[in-house]
A and B are shown apart, each in its own frame.
Chain A
Amino acid sequence: MDKTSAPQKSLFKRINKPLASLKLAVFIIVALAVITAVGTFVEARYDAYAAKKLVYDTWYMYGIMGLLVINLTAVMADRWPWKKRHAAFVLAHIGIIILLAGSLLTWKWGLDGSMRVGIGEANNFVQTAETDIVVYTSFDGDRYTKTLEQEVDFFKNPPTVEKPFIIPAYEGEIRIVDYKKYVVPSKKVIEGEVGKAGSGLRFQLQNDNVNVIEWLVQKKPGNLVSHNFGPAQIFMGPAPEKPRGANEIFLTPEKDGLRYVVFQKDSDKPLKKGFVKEGDVFDPGFKMALNFRVLRFLPAAREDWDLQDSSRPTPLTTSAVKIIFDGKENWVLLNDMVKLFTTNSVYLLTYGNRRIDLGFNLKLKKFEVARYQGTMRAAAYESLVEVPDFGEYLISMNEPLKYKGLTIYQASFQEEDGRPVASIFSINHDPGRFLKYLGSLVLSLGIVLLMWFKHLDFKLARKTGAGTKES
């Protein structure tokens, strides 16, 4: 405002005039309306994340916002020095600027994330919408060190074969060559590298009442993996000397088949022993007549994803990236990891949402859902949480916990078989909150005052008085 000193005043006013023009204001308002309207259609077709990435978080949206601030500032500068009758007008317009300043603070330094806490468990990580690639390197297969952590926005800038995202590794480089926004993943098992990968077994358990078909895949050779199907448990891996007192089948992979040992409940001695190959069937000898069939046996196997493309997001879809390392391809789903081997080193790559350590544990002691009578419809739900230095607090819908500058809200919950298993909180830190409230107050005050101040109508009458003859 120092430019308004006497000799330059008229020049400033002249420069300021077009920026303060009402026509520009109308253009800005209409442009804002059109852009946000497009955003809602994008959200309806895809989801909120897509709308944010494609419409609300873009240079043209920020451009219009910037223009709005310039226009608002100019229009107020144009009326300088302010008189009493300008009060309503100035309040309404300054209110918007304060509001936008508050939004800017939130956007720059705010935190908006979510946290899932299982019932009886604790968590200290907030998950946000940003995505990161993290690589850990190990030379002995045991101790890993973080060698890379980088933010990526594949939604806006997807990698391609021509323009891959390259991560240098100790030996060679990891190339990310493809990105899919929406895929429905399903697991599949393929042959792995002999010596590094564990074994894979697809088996069938069958009698008149039961028909189970499952895969068992060892992460490493010699690992023990299991499948529990209620009356019995199936293990793949080394068999123990002594049973644990349940119905168990142990299958130890060998070069062209599996050696099996069957233990029966409450018996110390093995019930049965033998050797099976792919395609073989045997009866474990339990009281229930069961057939165990080896459908497929891979001495070296690893799990991979079968991805089915989807044009839109659904609760079942996720995103995935394709990486190439050492000539081999791998798909990695969002919030999943992959292990990559060379002869000398192991790399562990994760692609997922950023996790921010809060520095304290949020413990979920109890979670309760109240339902509308006689239905499964949730009427209300609440979490009893515990945080250090504060103790217990009951978070319920619309009754958040405010703690260490964070606001912890009850957002949702997870259910399995009609029973809640975890509570989902939204965790926010909003440095712009004060400005937003102040701006809102000032703006509302201005708008209501505008109704009372008649000067607007006088001016209008003057202008349109001349205009009506042409209309």
Chain B
Amino acid sequence: MKKIFLIIASLLVTCAAVAKPGDLLKSMPVQDGGRIKPYDSFAKEMLEIVYGKTKFEGRNATEIVLTWMLSPQAWEGKKIFEVRNHQVLQAMNLPKDQRYFNGEELFANERFTLLRQELQAKRETKEKLDPYFQALQRLENQFFVFQEIAAGRMLKVAPPKEGDTWLAVADLPEHLQAKFLDVTKAFVTYLGVIAEKGDSSVSGKALDEAVAAFETAAQAENPALYSLGGKITAEVHYNSFHPFRWAYVFYFLAFLVLLLVWALSKESLMTAAWVLLGIGFALNTYGFGLRMYIMDRAPVSNMYETVVWVAWGTVLFAAILEIIYKYRLILVAGTLVAAFGLVIADFAPAVLDPSLQPLEPVLRSNYWLTIHVMTITISYAAFFLAFGLGDLGLIYYLRGEEKHQAQIKAITTSIYRAMQIGVAFLAPGIILGGIWADYSWGRFWGWDPKETWALIALLGYLAVLHARYAGMLKHFGMVVTAVITFSLVIMAWYGVNFVLGAGLHSYGFGAGGVEYVSAFVAAHMLLVVYVSVIRQGRGKKATKES
């Protein structure tokens, strides 16, 4: 493991060496959300909260967020606050077809004060917040974040002499204040040059120097708390390199090549497909390793991280099964669902939070957590693969089962195998969860919704395997159940957090994406019904003719 980190670290050093002038600001350490992170991550997360995206009008968050503080008045008329919830828009008397608003429209509105009181009253009853109140909470948070950054109270840039709460820009002692002023001056000049599309190397260098001077001064305050170590650089590199984006690009390319191999029987392209797949897999692994290195833990603690892990597992299982069976279509399904998963993770940050967060107390420093979560989620990878295969199977049934007997048989065998792999991981994974729960809470099983839904998913697949064994499910039945039973996994994986929202953790979660996920599940159900109807129609026709 250490070797991997060493390789990563040396890679980073090379990356840092080629960084362009003006980039040093990105890796300036900032304290936020319970950890030290580069200013780059801080800015992205803040812009994300306010605007819902990590870029504004094509400009990087690092450029935007600092200017909130330097010239708040310049932002007065800009529409940077995102409001998505229709109910909230209605309550604020705002046009429903608009999504972005300026501060004046939202916070000077007297309705805002009323709604805040309504939210406060709701909080006092300590009831669960429904999507409307969660949206109100977000609005309040957007207001708070913008105000606090503009006032210089949110950006904490220097360690204190005592204690561990860092000093915000507004609270800096005089000598640091002066150094920070140099940074902002150099920053403004640098932005000016960029805006005029001039050569930014000189002003960039000046900015880097100012940042370096500030960092030296800040470090002198409390060297133990202030680190400019490899993790900060690694995080900036992780932010800019976007390994998972590259991974799905390669998975998708591999998918396209495999499609040619499969559909047109061009076996000669198989090497190319394996190479593309290998690169994608390496990038997926690399990104995973980076997150692990930055946070010092296995990155499987939230939805985003598990999606990445599942995509990785899907490709792995698909490759193994492909090597054994050489059906070709296993890899087609595997690369497709893996790319799909990573694309979703990349494009839905409101639902799948990609930011790096410290763990809840109960999850900290316990290897059982890692083992049991990784075992359970890797089983989802196998079921995800079965799901992708099921989709392919449905397409074959649409195209005519008589002609594609061989393919359908290959698909059912693959589905059966994938489900077996899934069960072989999920059952021990649930048991490991029980052992962990027994070890840390004294109860082996507690009917907690998360663990219960993992069990329901397991029962679902066990039912399928038993029904297949009993002859209750034929080929078509396997294809259909591979698609339908995956809904249980979606429920266990996503639904428990977002739909049920049970337990105290519901506070932090959004209800984001429910409509899309439901539509995804419903569309597949409809597809299954459609294919069944078509198939039955053909069956009747065939019997009439014969």
User: Given A375, A400, A444, which contacts B442 in the complex, CB threshold below 8 Å?
Assistant: A400
**Are A409 and B470 in contact (CB-based, < 8 A)?**
no
Interface bits A10-30 vs B (CB < 8 Å: 1, else 0): 000000000001110110011
Q: Please tell me if A314 contacts chain B, counting CB pairs below 8 Å.
A: yes
B15 interfacial by beta-carbon distance below 8 Å: no
Are A460 and B435 closer than 8 Å at their CB atoms?
A: no
Q: Is A433 an interface residue (CB 8 A)?
A: yes
Interface residues of B in 357-416 (CB under 8 A from A): 358, 361-362, 364-366, 409
Contacts of B477 in A (CB 8 A): 471
In whole angstroms, what is the CA distance A355 to B149 when docked?
A: 51
- Complex CA–CA separation, A380 to B34 (angstroms): 13
Partner of A29 from the list B446, B459, B468 (CB cut-off 8 Å) is B459
A468 and B475 contact, CB distance less than 8 A:
yes
Is the beta-carbon distance between A103 and B445 smaller than 8 angstroms?
Answer: yes
Contact A44 B449 (CB under 8 A): yes
A109 interface hit (Cβ, 8 Å)? no
Q: A166 interface residue, CB < 8 Å from B?
A: no
B434 touches A440 (CB 8 A): yes
Which of A102, A314, A443, A471 is in CB contact (< 8 Å) with B127? Answer: A314
Binds A, one of B176-184, B229-237, B496-504: B496-504
A380-B165 contact, Cβ under 8 Å, with A314-B126, A409-B440, A467-B471? no
Closest to A47 in B: B502
Least CB distance from A51 to B in Å reads 6
Distance in angstroms from A211 CB to nearest chain B CB is 20
* Interface pair A316/B447, CB less than 8 Å apart: no
Q: Which of A103, A373, A409, A432 has the most CB of B within 10 A?
A: A373
For chain A, what secondary structure do more than half of its interface residues adopt (helix, strand, loop), or is it mixed?
helix
Q: B474 to A447, Cβ gap below 8 A? A: no
Would A428 and B476 be within 8 Å (CB), given that A447-B424, A459-B469 are in contact?
no
A398 and B435 within 8 A (CB): no
Cα A454 to Cα B156 with chains together (Å): 62
B470 touches A23 (CB 8 A): yes
Contact A398 B365 (CB under 8 A): yes
Q: Which residue of B lies closest to A371 (CB)?
A: B34
Residue in A184, A316, A436 whose beta carbon sits within 8 Å of that of B434 in the complex: A436
Q: Least Cβ distance of A22 to chain B in Å?
A: 3
The segment from A32-40, A141-149, A168-176, A332-340 that touches chain B is: A32-40
Docked-complex contact B126 and A33, CB < 8 angstroms: no
How far does the alpha carbon of A109 sit from the alpha carbon of B455 in the complex, in Å?
Answer: 25
| Closest CB in chain A relative to B154 CB, distance in Å | 11
Question: In the complex, what residues of B have CB within 8 A of residue A52's CB?
Answer: 447
CB < 8 Å neighbour of A44 from B166, B444, B475, B502: B502
Q: Which of B127, B444, B469, B500 contacts A312 (CB 8 A)?
A: B127
The answer to whether A379 has its CB under 8 Å from any CB of chain B is yes
Any chain A CB within 8 A of the CB of B428?
yes
The answer on a CB contact under 8 Å between B365 and A29 is: no
Q: Does A430 contact B (CB under 8 A)?
A: yes
User: What would be 15 A-B contacts, judged by CB atoms less than 8 Å apart?
Assistant: A21-B470, A26-B463, A39-B447, A48-B447, A103-B445, A372-B358, A379-B364, A398-B362, A400-B439, A428-B441, A430-B443, A433-B444, A444-B428, A467-B471, A471-B477
- Knowing that A29-B462, A48-B447 touch, tell me 9 more A-B residue pairs with CB under 8 angstroms: A25-B470, A26-B466, A36-B455, A56-B447, A373-B164, A380-B361, A440-B431, A464-B475, A468-B409
Closest 8 CB pairs of A and B: A372-B34, A428-B442, A471-B474, A22-B470, A44-B500, A33-B459, A398-B440, A29-B463
B residues contacting A by CB (< 8 A) are 31-36, 125-128, 156, 164-166, 358, 361-362, 364-366, 409, 420-421, 423-424, 427-428, 431, 434-435, 438-449, 452-453, 455-456, 459-460, 462-463, 466-472, 474-477, 488, 496, 500-502
